Chains A and B, each alone.
Chain A
């Protein structure tokens, strides 16, 4: 067994080689997914930018469906699986419970992703039903099969994570309680377990219905169960992202949280409250009572938001304390000016915290208010909200981590470091403009998922939107171009390092 491990010369971790291989393959797949999803993002954004209006409605709906799955599904979740294996095996100096099961999970996820992508590409007229896949809009059975396979694969990876934690505990490969970053990953994994369960409850009957084996089912009930899956799964991203924040604060400046219990309590609040808060998707639906809506979206959500605020205090706090210890103590802000801004992982971390909190978090709380939701629901403002959280926040954190994964796991020196310094800024500012443009135009009533705002496909009652809305859509388009440059740079650096980076 001994030859299955290597000792990392930088961190001193005992790295389980089969686990390392799985981390690599999941990580590379994630980067391929962000490349595909990113190209789709550019096409879709250049269509919503009405001055350019690139795609026909059919192509727009096709690429929008694919953009959703490849970004929100495949990029994020493949990366998270890599994080789960990294935290469980590498950070705990433990062997992965079963590398074979890890490969099974990977093959299930990959085949699911390919099946869904191909069915949408081959027959968009029927299968471009968007990420939400609301019944009774019906796609081919293969579409749902792909989604289910992907989810089962992800669930398998989560179970493997739990099994590995169990082994680490039994074999005492770490001292004391679980390290905070692993604790955060565990939070993500627990949320993932519940979420994927609801995914199955929503999608398995939809799959059998699409084959005409079972009758159609209630569109409202589907929505409630679907969102127990789809918004809660965003909380997996939040937890994973925050685990990465703590990890990056440590890797970039050596920061550790000021109070372990405080940070752990905040993760616990996520587990308890964040899932039911996803009821805010149902705020302007018929059929559910106000008491249910208020409890779920107000009180439960605020308990979860409180957790985010606690992390948003603890992580920058950890950075400040670490930098002050290094002697940057003059004035209130010397630590901030002297921070390692040239390290792309550091700037990615800071931009991730800012965009997630100020763009994504605040708009999320606003849109989740019972009364304000009437103004926001299904407008482009909602799309703006989650581009602040996931596209800017989570993605930036994962990009930042990549700059450490490349030397530590792939053991290659990052190429193009001169450009890497600007990469998080290009991407972060770009996606922020996208999010702001979407939010502002959404407040003028611009709907999400709409292929033709100026002509309405020749509809009789076509009308003109307020020109200000189009100004904001142009800002979104410009932001998308900037983000595309930053995203392309990220993919180039990652792939370039794998191919040409100096071996360490």
Chain B
């Protein structure tokens, strides 16, 4: 009796794994491109030059148009630029590093992704709540690791 319940439940879980991947809409992104650090830096510079609206603590603040491709560059020991996004709008966030490994960790949601040099990771994101978010580096990246904080503003 208990044995058959366990088997049935195991089968349900077994089938749920791929099903949830397809229908669950909670999966890590799968869109990735190879990119050299120099090329990624160029893309980010162009992105900042085009949509810059100000500066905060020496870091450019960028307000991209709704639905566009947005960029976040990680390097020892900062995130650039500060992104100003609109609530309820979908963006394509391009993430990469130009030196060592970094970790993208969004506070306070605790949403975490690896940022790896030579790989451009594209996450499709839709902010659902207005507010100020912080991007903490959570992969050890050298002695200034603890200083590496960035910011995303959702309006």
A351 to B146, CA, bound (A): 36
A377 and B114 within 8 A (CB) = yes
Q: Are B147 and A458 in contact (CB under 8 A)?
A: yes
Q: Which residue of B lies closest to A65 (CB)?
A: B140
Given contacts A377-B113, A459-B149, is CB(A125)–CB(B100) below 8 Å? no
User: Contact at A58–B112, with CB atoms within 8 Å?
Assistant: no
Chain B residue at minimal CB-CB distance from A58: B143
Are B114 and A445 in contact (CB-based, < 8 A)? no
Closest Cβ of chain B to A55, distance in Å, is: 12
Interface string of A275-301 (1 = CB under 8 A from B): 000000001111101100110001100
Count A/B pairs, Cβ under 8 Å: 158
Q: Given contacts A378-B139, A379-B105, A461-B149, are A286 and B114 in contact (CB under 8 A)?
A: yes
CB distance from A255 to the nearest CB of B (A): 24
Report if B11 contacts A (CB, 8 A): no
Complex interface: chain A residues within 8 A of B105 (CB): 378-379, 445, 447
User: Is A451 touching B146 in the complex (CB atoms < 8 A)?
Assistant: yes
**Contact between A460 and B58 (Cβ–Cβ < 8 Å)?**
yes
Known: A130-B140, A286-B120, A457-B147. A378 touches B112 (CB 8 A): yes
Complex interface: chain B residues within 8 A of A169 (CB): none
B26 within 8 A of A: yes
Q: Is the interface of A mostly helix, strand, loop or mixed?
A: loop
Contact-residue bracket for chain B? 35 or more
C-alpha spacing A443/B140, complex, angstroms: 19
Find out whether the CB atom of A457 lies under 8 angstroms from the CB atom of B146.
yes
List the one stretch of B27-35, B42-50, B64-72, B85-93 in contact with chain A: B27-35
Given contacts A375-B111, A459-B149, 20 further A-B contacts (CB under 8 A): A61-B143, A134-B140, A136-B101, A137-B101, A219-B118, A220-B119, A286-B121, A374-B26, A375-B112, A379-B110, A379-B138, A445-B109, A447-B105, A448-B138, A449-B145, A452-B147, A456-B147, A460-B56, A461-B59, A461-B149
B interface residues, Cβ below 8 angstroms from A: 17-18, 20-21, 24, 26-30, 32, 56-59, 95, 99-101, 103, 105-114, 116-121, 132, 134, 136-151
Which residue numbers of A lie inside 8 Å of B, CB to CB?
Answer: 57-58, 61, 125, 128-130, 132, 134, 136-137, 218-220, 223, 283-287, 289-290, 293-294, 298-299, 370-371, 373-379, 442-445, 447-452, 456-463, 465-466
